[in-house]
Each structure stands twice: as C-alpha cells, then as structure tokens.
Amino acid sequence: MPVPPDVLERIKKLREEINYHNYRYYVLDSPVISDEEYDALMQELKELEEKYPETITPDSPTQRVGAPPSDKFRTVPHHVPMLSLDDAFTPEEIREFDSRIKRFLNIDHDIEYTLEPKMDGLAVELVYENGVFVLGSTRGDGYNGEDVTNNLRTIPSIPLRLLSLDVPVPSLLEVRGEVYMEKDAFERLNQERREKGLPTFANPRNAAAGSLRQLDPKVTASRPLNIFCYGIGRVEGYSFKTQWEILQTLKKWGLRVNPLIKKVTGIEKAISYHEHLAKIRPELNYEIDGMVIKVNDLELQDRLGTKAKSPRWAIAYKFEAPQNITRIKDIILSVGRTGAVTPVAIMEPVKVGGVTISRATLHNEEEIKRKDIRIGDWVIVRRAGDVIPEVVKPLKERRTGKEKPFVMPKYCPVCGSALVKKPGEAIYRCPNPDCFPRLAKRIAHFVSKPAMDIEGLGPKVVEQLITAGIIRDIPDLYHIKKEDLLSLEGFAEKSAQNLLDAIEKSKHTTLPRFLFALGIRHVGEVTAQLLAKHFKTLDAVMKASVQELEAIQGIGPEVANSIYQWFRDEKNKELIKKLLEAGITIEPVETEEKTLPLEGKSFVFTGSLKSMKRAEAKKLVVSLGGQVQSTVGKHTDFVVVGENPGSKLQKAKQLGIKTITEEEFLEMVGKKK
Ligand code: IVH
C-alpha cells in the first residue's frame, strides 16, 4: 500500500519541527514548547513511522537508539588531522605566544583572537553529507579514530540532520567537538552505580570516555552525554573567513557551541578573559581545564601553519597543570595550633600549575606508610585547583635503594616534649599546651613593629607559617622562599614578594631593636635602649656581668639577672649565632654621644598649652635631650609661656630668663607645621 501523500507531508513536517525544537532546546537553550508538547510530536511521528516503516530514514529524530551492539569499532581516517594544542600556564607565556605570531606574520598591530573554554572531555569528529549525519569518530591518534557513529547518534544534542535556517547546508561538513558529561549528571550516574554496587567513575571525563566507547549503543544512550562543537575539518559547498564565523555558522546549522566563546582584539583582553573564566569555572556545570586562544582570521591561520602536532595559530591557556614529578629531600615535622604534629615533605622545587612548590603535608605517619613514601623518593605531586599540594605516590621504579623510610620522631621539634598518640588516632600531638602559642607569640614579637619591624607579617601569617611547617623557630624566617609563601592561602606572587622584601629589609637593624626583639624577660623597649646606649655592641651586652648590668641607671637587680642568664643559655647563644649567620647586621651605636637638639637645655612651663598636654611637652623635651624643671632658677634656659601663665612668668622676668611662646617652643622642637 503506497504511503498517502498527506502522511508523507505530515512526517516531513513533524521531523522538521522536532529538529527545530531540538535546536531551540540544545543550541539556543531557549525552548518554545513544553516537554509535553515535544513528546506529543515525537509520539505522533513514531506512530506514523510504525504504520509506514518504509518512510523511516536514518536521520529521522526517532532513530537515535536501535543500532545493534557491535563487537569492535572500525578504524576511520580523519581527512584533516585532528591536531593537539600547545599548553601555556602564565600570562608571560601567552604574551610570548602573541609576540611569536606577530614576529612570524611580520605585523605589529593587535591581533584578533577567538577565545573558547577548553572543554575537558574527548574530541570527536562528526561528518555530515548533504546535511545528514553519516559518520562519527573519536580522535584516536589524530590521523585515525574509531567509528562510534551509533553511539554518537544517541547524544540528543547532536543533530542527525543539519538545519538550514539562514544559511544553506554544505554538501560536506566535518565538525569537531568535545563530548562531555555535565557535572550534576555525572554525580547522578555515580550515585546510581553506587546503589547498584557498580564501580563509580573517577571524574566526568572518564565517565564520558567510558560511555562513548561502549559496544552497545543502548548503554551509551543511557548515559547523559553532551557536546560542544568548536571547529571543522573538510567543508564543501561553503566557505569561511574567520573562526568566529565558523562558530556562529555551526550554531545556525543546529550544532551546539559553548555560549562563553568570545572575540577580542589584543592579547591583554584574552588574558583578562582567562581570569574571568577561572573565576566562574566552579559555577559551570561542566569541566573546563583552560581557555583556547585562536587567531581569528583563517587566512592568517593559514600563513602561520602548523608544527608536527599542533598549530602555530592556537594555544591552550591552561588553568592548572594538575601534577608533576619531583624528589623528596627530607621529611620534617610541623606543629599545629592544636598541638598536632604533622610530617611535611620537603621537595626539590617543581612547577605545578604555573606555581613552584617545594613542600607538601603528608598528613600523618600512617599515610606515609600506606603510600610507602620514603626520603629520597621520586614522587608525583599534584595541586588541583587552589588546593594545597599533595604527594600522590612514589615512583617505585625509580628507587636506587638509598631511599630512607620515615621514622616518626619521639619528641616535639619545637619544645622537646615527648609526643603522644591516642589509641585509634593517626595523629601525634605535642602535649605541651604552651608549645604552639608560645612559639607563635615569640615569633610575632620578634617581627613586630618596635622589634624587627617586618611589614606584612602579623600574628595570623606567623601562625600560618608555623602550621605549614615553613618556620619552626625565629631564624627560619630568614630562609623562607617564595614558593613556600605561594603554598599558603591568601598569598599571590606580589604579596609573597612584598613579604620577602620586608624580611630582607629587616636584616639591617639597630641594636635596641634587636635586643628588644629577642624577647628577653624584663627587656622592653626602654631597657633595650639603655643597654644599647651603654654597651654599644651586641658582643658587649652578651659578655656583660651582673654587676656591670646593675650599674646602669634604670636597670635593677632582677632585670640584670634576667639578662645575664638569658645570654648564658646555650639555646639562646645558638639563636643569635643563627640570626647573624642568616645575614642580620646591626647598625653600630654612635660612640661619640650624638648631641641631641635640646642637649643641656632646661625648660620650665607655665600656663596651659593649646597643642598638647603638659606631660607630652615634657616627654618631648626629654626625648630631645633637654631637661624640664618645675621651678624657675638661674640655670633655667627657657620659660615656655602658655595661656594664663602663673607666677613663674614674673620670676623669669625678675631673673632675666628668656621666655618663649608656645609657637616658638613648637618650632624649637620641630613640631611646627
Ligand atoms: S581546537 C588545532 N578548541 O583540546 C586545534 N580544542 O589539545 C585543535 N579541546 O583534542 C583543537 N576544547 O579535545 C580546540 N575549544 C576547543 C577545545 C579543544 C577542548 C580539546 C580537544 C583537543 C584538545 C587539544
């Protein structure tokens, strides 16, 4: 029985409509009919096709699933090789890429680039002949891939027939894109598998790859796969001028293109957009591992050409190199705020994701045993996202026999207390409740403003540094490396450099500052000043006897004793030695008494001052070497006359002593604006 013409017409119409609604839904992300209406169209088409099976064509929207399982994938060639991309991690590398292109093309104006999120899935090629999807393959080695047509057909966002909305459909089109699994779909799939007792997938990428390489298309159909298209191979019957035009046209043919693509002029804009993508990355429902930068103009692409494996006109600006290989030089202990003592691997510095790292926490002794990490081992280190570095595993094949297993020390590296471990716990602790706070306080005092004055090193950063095992005592401050800081939360290139500069600057200091910084009991700023003034050198202070110390005006027996004892302690001597070895230099105290501006002058105040309190004025005079007397006598040099002066003014006049106004006084002490 021939198919009635009106049925044929209806079938054609239904297919067109369904394809159009697929496009609205998958490509434009703006459907114009409800799911129910869509289902009704599909249902009607299915029924008609069932009644008139001779009308079924492979590109009918009903024909996604249904191909029988195969026993092996056929190998198919890519007529235009599917190349890979060179990687870059830093803005410098990207600027270098831009300069290289300009040099190569011999141009000096800004270049137009397309920017595309770099999907973390697997590359495929879709072949359309006269608009009909006829072949789909994996990337393979770039020259030959596997025929996964029947699996790709099951992905709802891959059109089985191209649309011809505003543009004609080419006679041949090879489209390249990335098949991936959305994050939430991945979670659901793993959840289902867990419930069924099936092994779960490590990440969306593996899940997508595993799903696409199923021999039974029904299995693939049950997996939530998706696609973003980003390029072309061969095209016949259509020509493009730019990459941007390709992307826009792919959309018009009903192919899904990432909405975050962008076109910019000049490399700096590309760098900013990369920052933006990095920022929004966690909110995306799919994984991206960077941004692809492509020269927009196809003629320029042509002139630039390709190298063996990758084009010169494109680069992958990655977010992170997830891992690298390095060697463990040592395993030390760090003491945390709560007393937890953690082993930390000290490694040969290595770049991971554009950042050099040299240490990683190993968590606890058991973890080290479980992973069988030894001192001297070559290891894989990882730094996923902004997360702290982690030692993944040792490369046992590279062992020489000289590697040493880690033995957990028995005593706290900071205070020497015997470490304890509760039964059932993995972590050793220092039982001394003063250990961490005392160390943190000691170091915070040392770096504080009146002491060594290391800007940007407040108590919080000090604690961070101790917890990370970067510093364990004061001298360690002078051995901090940039990569150490970069491993801490809140540090970036610039802030790390600033802190290192501040530490370097603090190496040149004065004797009073240094003495105060040491944190000797009873030695505050004033005592430190007195000591410095009297002894002039650190060496002399260190050698001073109790008697000599006591002889200083302002230093009593208790203080003298404390200072004396402090410098007799071997640990303290070692501390000073280490600090000097680290490059601390102490400015010599002037041997010639430096004459202060008010040296030898005596002042009397009468009346009230407008600009400061009497006590402040007195302090000021003393600090400048002068004296303040309470009554006017013949040795008085100046009487400062404020408002409502008293009898002292008369006395001054009687004795012929110089009187000055508040303004004149301010000028004298250098306070006048
Ligand atoms: S272009 C010659 N664009 O990255 C151009 N690739 O290392 C080669 N990828 O195999 C590819 N998103 O799997 C390009 N917007 C994008 C991409 C992208 C992801 C993947 C693709 C390719 C690999 C290249």
Quick check: 315 and 97 in contact, CB under 8 A? yes
User: Can you state the percent helix, strand and coil of the chain, rounding each to 5?
Assistant: 40, 25, 40
Span 613-636, average pLDDT: 86
Indicate if ligand 1 lies below 6 Å from the C-beta of 153. Answer: no
Closest CA to 460 of 417, 497, 499: 499
Residue 321: pLDDT over 60: no
What is the rounded distance in angstroms from the CA atom of residue 231 to the CA atom of residue 224?
23
Span 475-480, average pLDDT: 95
Looking at ligand 1, which atom is closest to the CA of residue 310? Answer: 2
Give 143-199 as a DSSP string.
SEEEB-HHHHTT-TTS-SB---SSSPPPSEEEEEEEEEE-HHHHHHHHHHHHHTTPP
Span 240-256, average pLDDT: 97
pLDDT value for 662: 92
Task: Enumerate the active-site residues.
Answer: 118
Span 214-234, average pLDDT: 94
Taking CA atoms only, the protein residue closest to ligand 1 atom 13 is 123
> Per-residue pLDDT tens for 537-584?
999 999 999 999 998 888 889 999 999 999 999 999 999 999 999 999
Q: What percent of the chain has pLDDT over 90?
A: 69
Indicate if ligand 1 lies below 6 Å from the C-beta of 316. Answer: yes
- From the CA of 84, how far away is ligand 1's center (Å)? 6
pLDDT band at residue 672 under the 50/70/90 scheme: low
Residue 208: pLDDT over 90: yes
pLDDT band at residue 596 under the 50/70/90 scheme: confident
Query: DSSP character for 296?
Result: S
pLDDT value for 454: 95
pLDDT value for 592: 53
pLDDT value for 491: 87
Taking CA atoms only, the protein residue closest to ligand 1 atom 21 is 123
More confident residue, 323 or 187: 187
Looking at ligand 1, which atom is closest to the CA of residue 316? Answer: 7
What is the rounded distance in angstroms from the CA atom of residue 273 to the CA atom of residue 294?
14
88, two tokens: 């870059």
Question: How many helices (H) does the chain have, and how many strands (E)?
Answer: 24, 25
Closest CA to 390 of 451, 296, 324, 440: 324
Indicate if ligand 1 lies below 6 Å from the C-beta of 85. Answer: yes
pLDDT value for 593: 55
Domains of the chain: 5-55 (1.10.287.610), 87-318 (3.30.470.30), 323-405 (2.40.50.140), 436-506 (1.10.150.20), 510-587 (1.10.150.20), 602-668 (3.40.50.10190)
Burial class (CB in 10 A: 0-12, 13-18, 19+), 433: exposed
Distant-in-sequence, close-in-space partners of 188: CB < 8 Å, separation ≥ 6: 224
Span 333-340, average pLDDT: 86
The mean of the pLDDT values for the chain is 91
Pocket test for ligand 1, best of 114, 230, 255, 258 (most atoms within 8 A of CB): 230
What's the whole-model pTM score? Answer: 0.56
Indicate if ligand 1 lies below 6 Å from the C-beta of 231. Answer: yes
> Per-residue pLDDT tens for 524-548?
888 899 899 999 999 999 999 999 9
245, two tokens: 């035009």
pLDDT band at residue 267 under the 50/70/90 scheme: very high
Quick check: 91 and 271 in contact, CB under 8 A? yes
Span 391-417, average pLDDT: 92
Closest CA to 514 of 560, 437, 554, 567: 567
Span 418-422, average pLDDT: 92
What is the rounded distance in angstroms from the CA atom of residue 201 to the CA atom of residue 186?
8
Quick check: 344 and 488 in contact, CB under 8 A? no
- With tokens 């869509």, the residue in question is 38
> Per-residue pLDDT tens for 29-58?
899 999 999 999 999 999 999 999 999 998
Looking at ligand 1, which atom is closest to the CA of residue 120? Answer: 19
pLDDT value for 322: 67
Amino acid at 185: A
Span 181-187, average pLDDT: 93
- From the CA of 222, how far away is ligand 1's center (Å)? 26
Span 290-294, average pLDDT: 97
Indicate if ligand 1 lies below 6 Å from the C-beta of 118. Answer: yes
What is the rounded distance in angstroms from the CA atom of residue 431 to the CA atom of residue 419?
7
Residue 671: pLDDT over 80: no
Indicate if ligand 1 lies below 6 Å from the C-beta of 139. Answer: yes
Closest CA to 190 of 204, 210, 171: 204
pLDDT value for 410: 94
Residue 334: pLDDT over 60: yes
pLDDT value for 155: 95
Indicate if ligand 1 lies below 6 Å from the C-beta of 314. Answer: yes
Pairing mode, strands 627-629 and 602-606: parallel
Long-range CB contacts (within 8 A, 24+) of 520-523: 520/562, 520/563, 520/566, 521/562, 521/566, 522/558, 522/559, 522/562, 522/563, 523/559, 523/562, 523/563
Q: How far is CA 59 from CA 13, 23, 232, 553, in A?
A: 14, 15, 21, 102
- From the CA of 493, how far away is ligand 1's center (Å)? 30
Taking CA atoms only, the protein residue closest to ligand 1 atom 18 is 118
> Per-residue pLDDT tens for 434-443?
898 889 999 9
Indicate if ligand 1 lies below 6 Å from the C-beta of 292. Answer: yes
